[in-house]
Structure 1
Amino acid sequence: MARRLSYSARFTHPAETLYQAQSTRQYWDDMMAGFQMISPHCEVDDFTSDETGLRVVLKQTIGRDQLPALAQTVLMKDMVITREESFGPFDPDNTKGNYNASIPAGPGSLNGWQELFPTETGCTIRKTTEVKVFIPFVNGKLEQLMLVNLVDLFRAEAEYAADWVKKNL
């Protein structure tokens, strides 16, 4: 059975500013450079931004020895995560997008949708994630572990976004 989680990141700047930041390759390159403190193999694999929206493909390798013990029982080598994020064209009321992550020969799936919308004090990105693990007996524990780690990731990325916008836009 899949598990779902919604996470909202609130920002003090306008939605258009955050969208503008994510529409630049430098934003993503800088983010991957920051991830290299945790995992030395992080890169922007593909990036597109035009009138139809934006799409970025990120690749990150996490050493097996850095994984929680439960994950090490399932994965016998380093974990290579390919993550794709997209947003449609900017809509001042609600910009919608999707994201997913995959691991070659991974034991499950991670998919989600996101929306960027204005608030009275700035804007919010809401991400709703669904994870599913296909391993009997440990699937629920792995799904929960993935969701907990996603919250940490989304929180760190929100802090990064606010800081990047402040310094660059």
Structure 2
Amino acid sequence: MASKMEHAVSYPFSVQRLWEVLTTEQYWHDLLEAINASHGVLESFHHVDDTVTVYLKQGVPADKLPSMVSAALSGDAHIPRHNTFTWAGDRITGEITATVAGTPAKVHGTVLTSNDPATTRYSATVEVPIPFVGGKIEKAIIEQLIALLDAEHENTMNWEATNR
């Protein structure tokens, strides 16, 4: 059974300005450097018309993983992630998918940014189909995902303030 996650963050600037940030390749490089320097890599960045597609790899060092997760992995957690964002008039819609390499863990979510100032709402499903412990691992992933989204939010605000 999958677990659900809902999370929201607000920015002190407009949806249009957030779109300008998300469509800047350097932002993604700087974001990964700030929040995941030892494990983060921007695999590809494509901005065509009203769509931005970002492939990146992130990771969590083995010593930072919850014990039930580290027991299932041998070493660091490597997390391929795919983000697609679309400018839709006065809002940004998107999809985010992620996996944990070497495990059956999957994350699939949607993103909606609207209002002025901008508020981004994340809705995701986390699935780890492992009998008995899957639900506990899903909850641990959700906790880590929320911490990651909050770190990205903080760094996005900092990046925007220094790159006006």
1:145 aligned onto 2:143? no
Letter in 2 for 1:76: S
- Specify whether residues 123 and 51 from structure 1 end up closer, same or farther in structure 2 by C-alpha distance, changes over 3 A only: same
Q: Which ranges in structure 1 are unaligned for 5 or more consecutive residues? A: none
Distance 2:80 2:142 in 1: 17
**Identity of aligned pairs, percent?**
27
Equivalenced residue count is 164
Letter in 2 for 1:28: W
Alignment-derived partner of residue 2 in structure 1: 2
Q: 3-state SS of the aligned residue for 1:59?
A: strand
Check whether the contact 1:109–1:131 (CA below 8 A) recurs between aligned residues.
Answer: yes
Distance 1:2 1:61 in 2: 22
Alignment RMSD: 1.4
Alignment-derived partner of residue 84 in structure 1: 82
Structure 1 residues 1-169: aligned runs within 5 Å: 1-37=1-37, 40-88=38-86, 90-119=87-116, 122-169=117-164
Distance 1:151 1:82 in 2: 17
TM-score by length of 1: 0.91
Q: Which ranges in structure 2 are unaligned for 5 or more consecutive residues? A: none
Moved over 4 A (4+): none
Distance 2:60 2:12 in 1: 32
Q: 3-state SS of the aligned residue for 1:74?
A: coil
Distance 2:160 2:5 in 1: 26
TM-score by length of 2: 0.93
Check whether the contact 1:92–1:117 (CA below 8 A) recurs between aligned residues.
Answer: no
Offset, 1:60: 1.9
Measured against aligned partners, the alpha-carbon deviations of 1:18-72 in whole angstroms (never above 9, x if no partner) come to 11101011000001111345xx131100000120410111112333233111101
